[in-house]
Amino acid sequence: MTNRVLDTIMERAEEIRELGPVNERLGRLDDKAAKVLRDSGVIRMLQPEAHGGMEAHPREFAEAVMGIAALDGSTGWVAGIVGLHPWEMAMADPKVQEEIWGGDPDTWIASPYAPMGVARPVDGGYVFSGRWQFSSGTDHCDWIFLGGLLGDEDGRPVEPFQGLHLVLPRSDYEIVEGSWEVAGLKGTGSKDVIVRDAFVPDYRVLRFAKVVDGTAPREAGLTNPTYLVPFSCAFPLGITSAVIGMAEGVLAHHMAYQRDRVQIVGTRVKDDPYVLYAMSEAAEEIAASRTRLLDFASRMYDKAAAGEEISFGERAAGRRLQVRSAWRAARAVNELVIRSGGNAMRVDNPIQRFWRDVHVGLAHAIHVPGAVYHVSALTDLDIEPPEGPMRSMI
């Protein structure tokens, strides 16, 4: 199947490439880079058709994100993060969907989902406050998904904790300028946001547990398999795809740079069997990461389309696959970069920017291996993992 969005991206590849250093200097996506994403349609790939979206196959979305990230890490990261939000918004009340997309189907929604705020119940909704980090692409978004905890009448989180995803318009939160001073992915503009006693009506709130267990899309009457794949497959997909795409970008720049390079000892790289060996091994590791991730997305889609239940064990194995794919690609990048020579570290060489971007992307909570590996190993042993935080990312 032809991926029309990816084809459009490739037509503007040079423009995206050239804007990479500009994004980094600005500390957010340049307006031109954001316009390329809007024009390509990548942010609408998982959006409901009723609101101008494509309801595309998750694999196609991942391929598009990889293609963008291989051109510029920050642009690919924003595509992967912001492009996922319409997937969950499809499960929300039609009223909030109309508020967001009724006037413009190209309206973007930011996040993060981390439960860093508390929602105090009041008549008709909640009073919500908190501060969140890492709101990628937020300067170009007019709405936001924010993670919160259900509170009591005094604003204290109730126990056991109950997670919420609350949807707010741009007028209800503050973007904190100067809060994204980082080593990599600088162009994502992943700034802090603050909410102070904002009223959020009931219809703009989703229960996180229902999103995770697949209840939310079914209650919303969604039938397209894209929306029935597990949250633990869909949400990490844009993030891991971006990291793999960045690794592909390193590989492409490394190959172009090494083709005519002469090492300080006078040996041409093309005549050095040790460097050539490492290049081939890294290329295959990155390709394996790509294949595994795309295969998983396709398998989850096919199971959802067939109406088959996707077990907790399958979800856990999928999360393990995502984490390992990102780490495998990043380690391959390291093998390339340490053989690229000192000039690869100059600021005008894109290799060093991609290298930094890959490692900041790897630091995302989605890619932390500990609990994921622990839980997936237990399920492989037919041992039920304990309830609690260990299961939360699965």
pLDDT range class, residue 123, cuts 50, 70, 90: very high
pLDDT at 80 over 90: yes
Mean pLDDT (whole number) for 347-364 = 97
pLDDT reported for residue 262: 80
pLDDT range class, residue 42, cuts 50, 70, 90: very high
**Domain range summary for the chain, segments of one domain joined by +:** 4-101, 109-207, 229-391
CATH superfamily of 4-101: Acyl-CoA dehydrogenase/oxidase, N-terminal domain (1.10.540.10)
pLDDT reported for residue 257: 86
pLDDT range class, residue 2, cuts 50, 70, 90: low
pLDDT reported for residue 236: 96
pLDDT reported for residue 268: 85
DSSP code per residue over 36-79: HHHHHTGGGTTS-GGGT-----HHHHHHHHHHHHTT-HHHHHHH
Same fold, 4-101 and 109-207: no
pTM of the complete model:
0.97
The DSSP 8-state label assigned to residue 385 in this structure reads P
- 143 beta partners: 109, 169
pLDDT averaged over the chain? 95
Question: Tens digit of pLDDT for each residue in 245-291?
Answer: 999 999 999 999 888 888 777 778 787 888 889 999 999 999 999 99
229-391 has which CATH code?
1.20.140.10
pLDDT reported for residue 131: 98
Question: Tens digit of pLDDT for each residue in 160-186?
Answer: 999 999 999 999 999 999 999 999 999
pLDDT reported for residue 41: 97
Cα–Cα separations (whole angstroms), residue 149 to 66, 80, 116: 33, 25, 8
CA 78, 336, 294: angle at the middle one, nearest 5?
45
SS3 at position 247: helix
25 in Cβ contact with 17 (< 8 Å): no
198 in Cβ contact with 128 (< 8 Å): yes
pLDDT reported for residue 333: 98
CATH topology of domain 109-207: Butyryl-CoA Dehydrogenase, subunit A; domain 2 (2.40.110)
pLDDT at 334 over 80: yes
